[in-house]
């Protein structure tokens, strides 16, 4: 591999790790980079998923304090992400890539609308909770079921393509939970990590020879550093600033998806 390519892939890994920790669409940096350097799309997807596991670990660790108090809910969301990711990985290995990529822009547009509308939805949910005499932190059974279902669907998407799954998770949680952005971001990092680990294991076990291990290794090193940087600076952003970052990155990702 040429030195210039190695540097580009490693730098893309740093950027992806940082953006994944803050927003969750770092694949939109590494995936196009690998494709532009001549790697086949499926090889790029698999190599990227394997490499970004390291960044997911560092980003989740950086947000560990914000995970406190969320485990009663996450114990349901984590299995949903795991099962969904396994299904998504199976789809990648058995379906033409174009079948699913055609749906990605539509999902991303819907997610960005939910991110923007999140405060209004949360305010409406809070008013209903207050009217019913429930705690603001109370989650009804219906909302919990919807949250688990949404997490599962995003897990399927993430296991297949991974790009922008964090934005989709933030959108789902923002529409259903009385949580602030940073705590949802911490949960998003953990759930995205589970999806990436499951997808990476599936690719390693079933398609070991289709993974570019040099590229995956460079992405891993870069994303490990990027995850720490993203968690360090991202957790300082105000909820509104974080929401703006998510929308801007999502729009850029949408543009790249429809023009690549």
Domain ranges of the chain: 3-259
pLDDT band (50, 70, 90) for residue 163: low
Chain-wide mean pLDDT for the chain? 80
Q: Classify residue 178 by its DSSP letter.
A: -
pLDDT the model gives residue 134:
46
pLDDT the model gives residue 216:
93
Q: Token match 């968690």: residue?
A: 231
pLDDT of residue 159 exceeding 80, the answer is: yes
- CB-facing half-sphere around the CA of 259: CA atoms within 13 A: 7
Tokens of 46: 């698999």
* Residue 100: alpha-carbon gap to chain centroid: 17
Tokens of 134: 């429930």
Q: Supply φ then ψ for residue 102, to 5 degrees.
A: -65, -25
pLDDT in tens, 77-135: 999 999 999 998 888 778 776 666 676 677 667 766 766 665 666 566 556 555 555 44
| CA atoms of 202 and 193, how far apart (whole Å) | 14
- Model confidence, pTM: 0.78
Tokens of 17: 């790790």
| CA atoms of 86 and 96, how far apart (whole Å) | 17
Mean pLDDT over 159-164 rounds to 74
């Amino acid at each position: 591999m040429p030195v210039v390519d190695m540097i580009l892939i490693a730098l893309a890994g740093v950027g992806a790790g940082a953006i994944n920790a803050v927003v969750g669409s770092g694949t939109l940096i590494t995936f196009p980079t690998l494709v532009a350097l001549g790697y086949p799309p499926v090889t790029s997807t698999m190599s990227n998923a394997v490499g970004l596991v390291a960044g997911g670990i560092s980003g989740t660790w950086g947000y560990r304090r914000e995970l406190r108090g969320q485990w009663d809910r996450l114990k349901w969301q984590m299995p949903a992400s795991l099962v969904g990711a396994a299904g998504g990985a199976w789809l990648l290995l058995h379906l033409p890539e174009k079948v699913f990529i055609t749906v990605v822009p539509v999902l991303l547009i819907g997610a960005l609308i939910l991110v923007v509308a999140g405060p209004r939805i949360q305010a409406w949910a809070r008013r209903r909770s207050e009217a019913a005499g429930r705690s603001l932190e109370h989650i009804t059974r219906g909302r919990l079921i919807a949250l688990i279902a949404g997490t599962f669907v995003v897990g399927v998407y993430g296991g297949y393509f991974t790009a922008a799954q964090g934005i989709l998770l933030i959108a789902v949680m923002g529409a259903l939970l009385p949580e602030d952005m940073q705590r949802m971001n911490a949960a998003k990092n953990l759930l995205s990590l589970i999806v990436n680990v499951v997808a990476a294991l599936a690719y390693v076990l079933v398609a070991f020879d289709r993974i570019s291990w040099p590229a995956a290794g460079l992405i891993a090193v870069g994303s490990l550093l990027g995850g720490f940087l993203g968690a360090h600076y991202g957790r300082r952003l105000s909820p509104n600033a974080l929401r703006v970052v998510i929308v801007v990155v999502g729009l850029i990702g949408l543009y790249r998806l429809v023009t690549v």
